[in-house]
Amino acid sequence: MRLLRLNARGKFSLTEFVEDNIPPYAILSHTWGANDEEVTFKDLVEGTGKSKAGYTKIRFCGEQAASNRLQYFWVDTCCIDKSSSAELQEAITSMFQWYHNAANCYVYLSDVSIDNYSTNNYSAFRKSRWFTRGWTLQELIAPRTVEFFSQERQRIGDRKSLERQVHEITGIPIRALRGSPLAGFSIDERMSWAAERKTKRKEDKAYSLLGIFNIFMPLIYGEGDNAFTRLKEEIEKGSRSKYTTTADT
């Protein structure tokens, strides 16, 4: 796992850690802008990208992590070398666990102003694009704690204080938001949480659910809708295996 660090001079550095030696870290949840607006792994390595819109999110995460006394943090746009298919496979397969293991998860709502939030009775919060994206489903459920921030980087609340609103927006049961094991929810129910969510690529509609169903399968970008077919097949295999094991007990 590759983590970012913000040093005293305000510069970012990347450090790779092996599984048994990962320090406490914060993690960012956000919605992607245009690809050319996001800071990439290559940008960080070459020391570029400061003029990109996505740089603001990275600095926010680093400074918020520091305020929580965390030296390290993770952002999906730039901590993964997406030119390596093997690294991308590992990252997507591990993503749910990385969010779960984070000390803090910060949700940056780029379309929610603190002024609108304060005056419109949660209207801007409810309409946020963040609640419509495929990947943010696991980013909402997996972490131990989730904090929501406005575009001005002001804290709005957390998953606990806003659980009623989040439940009404997403349809996710409150006990799931409170950390109940996902295996306790039916396959159909978990699928319903993602039914209206969108991803940029068809394949990601399936890949973003791997952690929700505890499924491990190869990524094949370019397969389109077949990714979802494979996901359902793997879920059915796991369900049959569980039934057989229970019946044999």
Pair (37, 141) in one structural domain: yes
Q: Which pTM was predicted?
A: 0.92
Whether 235 and 137 map to the same domain: the answer is no
Based on the fold, state whether residues 161 and 130 are members of the same structural domain. Answer: yes
Residue that terminates a domain, selected from 180, 197, 231: 180
Q: Residues 12, 124: one domain?
A: yes
Burial class (CB in 10 A: 0-12, 13-18, 19+), 107: buried
pLDDT for 248 equals: 53
Q: How far is CA 114 from CA 78, 133, 154, 196, 221, in A?
A: 27, 21, 7, 26, 38
What is the extent of the structural domain holding 197? 182-249
Considering the domain architecture, whether residues 173 and 187 belong to the same structural domain is answered as no
Handedness of CA 1, 154, 212, 39 (dihedral sign): negative
pLDDT at 102: 98
DSSP letter for each residue of 167-223: HHHH---HHHHTT--GGGS-HHHHHHHHTT-B-SSHHHHHHTTTTTTT------TT-
Residues 205, 221: one domain?
yes
Q: Which two tokens stand for residue 101?
A: 């293991």
Same domain, 118 and 209: no
In total, how many domains does the chain have? 2
Q: Give the end of a domain, one of 180, 201, 220.
A: 180
Same domain, 167 and 186: no
Q: What pLDDT is recorded for position 240?
A: 66
pLDDT in tens, the chain (249 residues): 999 998 877 788 999 998 889 999 999 999 999 989 999 999 999 988 899 999 999 999 999 999 999 999 999 999 999 999 999 999 999 999 999 999 999 999 999 998 877 777 788 999 999 999 999 999 999 999 999 999 999 999 999 999 999 999 999 999 999 999 999 999 999 999 999 999 999 999 999 999 999 999 999 999 999 999 999 999 998 776 664 544 454
Contact (CB, 8 A) for 115 and 124: no
Question: Cα dihedral sign for 139, 35, 222, 42?
Answer: negative
Distances (CA, A) of 193 to 100, 136, 189, 228: 18, 11, 7, 15
Q: 117 with 196, same domain?
A: no
Residues 98 and 8 in one domain: yes
Cβ count within 10 A of residue 205: 20
Claim to verify: residue 112 and residue 21 sit in the same structural domain: yes
Task: State whether 21 and 126 are in the same domain.
Answer: yes
Which one of 141, 159, 180 terminates a domain?
Answer: 180
